């Protein structure tokens, strides 16, 4: 009696879904190496080509057999039968001459002609295989024997031919002639039928061979395409995964059925992505930790510097005040950089808390413009705003969207030459339900090879003028995270030497309300 464990195992095995033939074939194909895939594809093509050649050879053999039958059987039989007819008429001539003059010379000629006729007839009878032909030749043999008997009786009389002799002789000659003509017609009919059959077979074989050749070509292309796809598809997936790794996406792993030769490559790429993700996590954790640890002392430096600038400890000279102002500006810049790093770390970890509410996008844009107006006036840059009349309501965290606008405007002013123009444009696409914001400068532009990387952290590109200060490379990375967190999209368009435009979209609010 089976134990419960065995029964349970058996039931589970019975209930497990069986793999279909297609799934089993796909798994078996996935285990094949590149060599065996190419080898089996080539072998399949060779087998099909061999089949086509075998068919062509079989048709050629049939045509050769038909030609051989015509040349070695029908045509010789026709010629031999015509020789018999000619010999028969020669016999008749010699027989008439002998009966007319009773000269032994004509008798010898007649005897020789009879022997030749009998020899040819015997040979023809031995070669003939068709029952109808054998019947005709037997009839000729019988009639010729009657003719010889009739001649011998008449020759033995040693007198003029009897009155009924010529009539009987001519009747026998006519019947032999008809039999030989029928025999010739029989073979000519069959020879014509063989010629027609040979032509039909040849035409049909040509058409079928052409179709088979086309099928072989298509099959070869299909098998080559299948083998190529089964090899290149995993490689393209791996290539795309490596490209994603190059763009900073490390956490995902590529899962693709690949030949055994490429399986190790896929596993290595996945291992590399995993290790890079671990390094990226360590880097982010380190930056977050360092940023948090530096923020407090920097705030103390800033506050202490401000106390000194307020001359609370005592009066300052002009040189001391200028030095303290530089220290304060640098500490504030470091605090902003550290705040940005902390924000990016929170966003990457999914821990950023957004206070989303209906917000007037136009008011945020005006606030950001006011923040950078003094900087723009210092470089004699004019900021032009193009926006629809009335308010533009979007569901957003106003502080974060304002931070995005601040970064974009700061970049536009930083890269624009003195006396240039910076444009900020708001456009409503009611049909798509989005608001489009564009910030355009007239700076040096971004090279095409740098465009795919502008949203990466710490990426600063290579486009700098002599008066341009290098940034941190975090502004656009932060902008991308914030915009995408608000269900929007951000992208960059640039013409080298003409300027750069950054666009981003935000969904419009369903209901208007105060921010």
The domain ranges of the chain are: 36-218, 262-348, 356-507
Q: Using CA atoms, how far apart are residues 385 and 365, in angstroms rounded to an integer?
A: 9
Residue 361's Cβ-count burial label (10 Å; 0-12, 13-18, 19+) is buried
Q: What is the pLDDT of residues 178-198, one digit of tens each?
A: 999 999 999 899 889 888 888
**What is the rounded distance in angstroms from the CA atom of residue 414 to the CA atom of residue 407?**
10
Closest CA to 471 of 328, 279, 340: 340
Q: What is the pLDDT of residue 304?
A: 80
Can you name the CATH fold of 356-507? Heat Shock Protein 90 (3.30.565)
Is the pLDDT at 369 greater than 70? The verdict is yes
Confidence class for position 8, pLDDT limits 50, 70, 90: very low
Q: What is the pLDDT, as a whole number, of residue 12?
A: 45
Cα distances (angstroms) measured from residue 37 to each of 20, 41, 50, 231, 235: 22, 6, 20, 9, 15
- β-bridge mates for residue 394, sequence order: 359
8 Å CB contact between 502 and 445 = no
Mean model confidence pLDDT for the chain = 81
202 has which bridge partners?
Answer: none
For the structural domain made of 262-348, what CATH number should be given? 1.10.287
Least confident of 56-60, 376-380, 459-463: 459-463
Q: How far apart are CA 343 and CA 288, in angstroms?
A: 9
Of 58-67, 362-371, 455-464, which one has max mean pLDDT?
A: 362-371
Residue 18: pLDDT band (50, 70, 90) is: low
The average pLDDT across 297-304 equals 76
Question: Model pTM?
Answer: 0.47
Q: In the numeric block, which tokens belong to residue 177?
A: 């002639």
pLDDT digits (tens, 9 = 90+) for 238-282: 888 788 777 667 667 777 777 766 777 778 888 887 877 777 777
Q: 314 or 8: whose pLDDT is higher? A: 314
Q: Please, are residues 225 and 90 in contact by the beta-carbon 8 Å criterion?
A: no
Structure-model confidence comparison of residues 294 and 75, the more confident one: 75
Q: What CATH code would you report for 36-218?
A: 1.20.1440.210
The whole-number pLDDT of residue 1 equals 43
pLDDT tens digits along 483-499: 999 999 999 999 988 89
3-state class (DSSP) for residue 180: helix
**The pLDDT of residue 289 is above 70:** no
Range 3-15 average pLDDT:
44
Residue entry with tokens 């930056």 = 287
Q: Any long-range contacts for 278-283 (C-beta under 8 Å, 24+ apart)?
A: 280/248, 280/250
Phi, psi at 500, each rounded to 5° = -130, 145
Which tokens sit at 202? 């040849």
Question: Phi and psi at residue 412, in whole multiples of 5°?
Answer: -65, -45
Q: Which two tokens stand for residue 372?
A: 């950078």
- How far apart are alpha carbons 174 and 140 in whole angstroms? 11
Q: What is the pLDDT of residue 34?
A: 72
């Amino acid at each position: 009696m089976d134990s419960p464990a065995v029964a349970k195992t058996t039931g589970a095995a019975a209930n497990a879904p069986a793999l279909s033939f297609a799934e089993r074939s796909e798994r078996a194909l996935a285990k094949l190496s590149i060599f065996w895939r190419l080898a089996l594809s080539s072998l399949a093509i060779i087998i099909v080509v061999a089949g086509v050649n075998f068919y062509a050879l079989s048709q050629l053999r049939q045509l050769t057999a038909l030609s051989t039958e015509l040349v070695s059987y029908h045509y010789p039989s026709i010629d031999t039968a015509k020789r018999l007819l000619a010999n028969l008429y020669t016999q008749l001539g010699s027989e008439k001459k002998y009966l007319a003059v009773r000269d032994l010379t004509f008798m010898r000629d007649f005897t020789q002609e009879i022997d030749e006729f009998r020899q040819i007839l015997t040979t023809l009878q031995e070669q003939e295989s068709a029952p109808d032909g054998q019947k005709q030749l037997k009839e000729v043999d019988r009639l010729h024997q009657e003719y010889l008997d009739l001649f011998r009786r008449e020759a033995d009389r040693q007198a003029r031919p009897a009155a009924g002799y010529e009539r009987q002789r001519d009747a026998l000659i006519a019947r032999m002639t008809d039999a030989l003509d029928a025999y010739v017609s029989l073979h000519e009919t069959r020879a014509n039928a063989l010629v027609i059959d040979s032509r039909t077979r040849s035409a049909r074989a040509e058409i079928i061979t052409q179709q088979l050749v086309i099928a072989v070509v298509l099959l070869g292309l299909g098998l080559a395409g299948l083998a190529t796809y089964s090899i290149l598809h995993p490689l393209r997936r791996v290539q795309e995964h490596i490209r994603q790794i190059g763009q900073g996406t490390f956490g995902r792993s590529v899962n693709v059925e690949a030949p055994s030769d490429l399986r190790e490559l896929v596993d290595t790429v996945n291992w590399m992505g995993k290790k890079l993700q671990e390094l990226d996590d360590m880097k982010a954790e380190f930056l977050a930790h360092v940023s948090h640890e530096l923020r407090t002392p920097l705030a103390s430096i800033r506050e202490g510097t401000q106390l000194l600038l307020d001359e609370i400890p005592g009066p300052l000279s002009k040189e001391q005040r200028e030095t303290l102002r530089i220290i304060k500006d640098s500490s504030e810049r470091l605090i902003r950089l550290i705040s940005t790093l902390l924000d990016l770390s929170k966003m990457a970890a999914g821990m950023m808390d957004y206070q989303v509410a209906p917000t007037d996008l136009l008011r945020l844009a005006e606030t950001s413009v006011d923040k950078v107006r003094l900087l723009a006036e210092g470089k004699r840059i004019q900021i032009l705003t193009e926006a629809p009349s009335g308010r533009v309501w979007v569901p957003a965290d106003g502080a974060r969207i304002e931070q995005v606008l601040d970064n974009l405007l700061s970049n536009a002013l930083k890269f624009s030459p003195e006396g240039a123009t910076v444009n900020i444009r708001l456009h409503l696409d009611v049909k798509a339900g989005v608001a489009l914001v564009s910030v355009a400068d007239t700076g040096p532009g971004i090279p095409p090879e740098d465009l795919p990387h502008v949203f990466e952290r710490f990426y600063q590109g290579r486009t700098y003028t002599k008066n341009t200060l290098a940034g941190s490379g975090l502004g656009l990375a932060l902008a991308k995270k914030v915009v995408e967190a608000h269900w929007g999209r951000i992208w960059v368009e640039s013409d080298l030497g003409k300027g750069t435009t950054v666009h981003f979209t935000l969904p419009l609010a369903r209901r208007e309300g105060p921010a």
